[in-house]
Structure 1
Amino acid sequence: MAIFDNMWLTWAGDWGIVVLIYMQNRSNYTIMKKPPGDSDTVQAFLHRKRIATLEQLKAALCTTGTMTVFRRLKKVGYMSSYSHRGKYYTLPEIPEFDEHGLWSYHSVWFSQHGNLLATVKELVEEATAGWTSQELERILQVEVKRPLLQLYQGKDIEREKLFGVYTYFSLSGDKRRSQLLMREKSVFDATVGLPTEIEALSHELKAAIILFFSLLDEQQRRLYAGLEAHKMGHGGDRKIAELLGLDVHTVAKGRRDLFGWKIQRDRVRKEGAGRKTKEKKRRRFSNESGA
């Protein structure tokens, strides 16, 4: 091939075919670069957007094929959300997970443990004192009753009803016993010091307090109620009375007795207190009555 000022001259061997290509401007040509791969497009898009739905990824790849998108995702590696029915996707290097292995972006939640079922199982297994469904929902920000029931029925976790509420534990015997002991200890510790507002108590804690209160004798109940009422300050007598089902005067008396050191250490009631015993009347028979 010979190149002249404004034309290329080519020929084809023995056939003697000559082709002249006239070029008006030799500078008007473009070197085509190799287009970026689809995988590079997916990575760039997700790094820019952080998370994306299937439809958004289709638009980024200029395709309508679902399998095309998943082939590209599989090639680069991806994670799907456990919230929003798993409809959001991200890259493994993007999330910054918290102590539970969770990450949220614009209220969309991801877990390093996988989907919701796997995440619930992992959290229960690693819990110090087990979890109730209410506690797990506060952590995961989604409804968990169905996955908990599915895991329990599938014998992947255990559960026990404590203070009227199901608490979920590890399937491992040693781990479960440790979790159960810590749960009982945490409930006891919580009853020692109540928050200043009864409304701040969870249903589980209220049930635990009432159960603990029911195990005390009469004097201990009165003194315990008085102590907690004192810690609450103004209005404490009424609040504790409503929580424990006591008369407000009983709570006030317990508070006065406790701080006035009017405590009977060797008996529940003061001597002479309580209901008077009644002597049964005997029926008198006259001497004249016949046998």
Structure 2
Amino acid sequence: MCSSLGIGCNTVRVAVIGSSGLFGSFLIPILSDEKYDVISVSHDDINCGDSESVRVALESIEPEVVINCAAVTDVETCQDQPEYAFQVNVLGALYIAQVCARVGSLCVYTSTDFVFDGEKGEPYTEDDCPNPINVYGASKYAGEMLVRQTCPQWLIVRMASLFGTAQDKKSGRISRLRLVRGKRSFVDTIIEKARVGESLRVVDDVYMSPTYARDASRALELLVRQRATGIVHLTNAGRCSWYELAKKTFEIVGLSPSLEARSSCDYPYNARRPKDSSLRRRASNDGLDALLRPWQQAIEEYFDGER
């Protein structure tokens, strides 16, 4: 029996923009397994900073749902190249939302915990007012606002500190991807250093919500199936510091390196980072709560699958 979205009938066409990234690489197979008609749109297919490119790409697809995963996520790159960040994260969001409004699509915009300043002292909910403190967060928040103002049907999902393994769709190769924004892989880096006997220093005063990309993808599929709208925080339950995450990682993989807790003041960056950008959902949702389990359970499964 078909639901109102036609799940199981192969009738719901979903375009995933930015499908080659970590989240998109999880989302594509999960949507395909649920019998959606999935169109993968990579950077080779579309220039998000060009309105005509976006229009041509999406109008030719005629999707019922557009999931915008395309973004410049490296915090330092955004800080150093704000025009580039705003072209993709802001103008790209606007152009995609404009097409969604014209063709009647649900516009799903993936956002970040970095829209908050980290000064609340406890996890942020969807009701909290964003106050970004760096270019990356500002560009994503601007993208959120434009999506809300432009498209009648919109869903904004905020995620944080994604981790997981992803499959290269062209080669079939499985590769471990990052647990932090940008090019460095926190988990892989600390494991590699520990295995060669290096001492490790990790900040213990910056908090976030580690999130398994597989769990977040399943949760987003549920929201799409429900035709949900509004803002939803999609992170695994709980929060921790990077130091706590490092300790848990070594516990799981069975390593006992020299691990020292340090202050974030010891690691200056051009872009300020929120002290505590952890997220939670303001309202309980049995479906989401089951999918977005505690981060400790999620990261254990992640490593069990890699060993």
TM-score (norm 2): 0.18
Q: Give the structure with higher Rg (CA).
A: 1
TM-score (norm 1): 0.19
More helix by share: 1
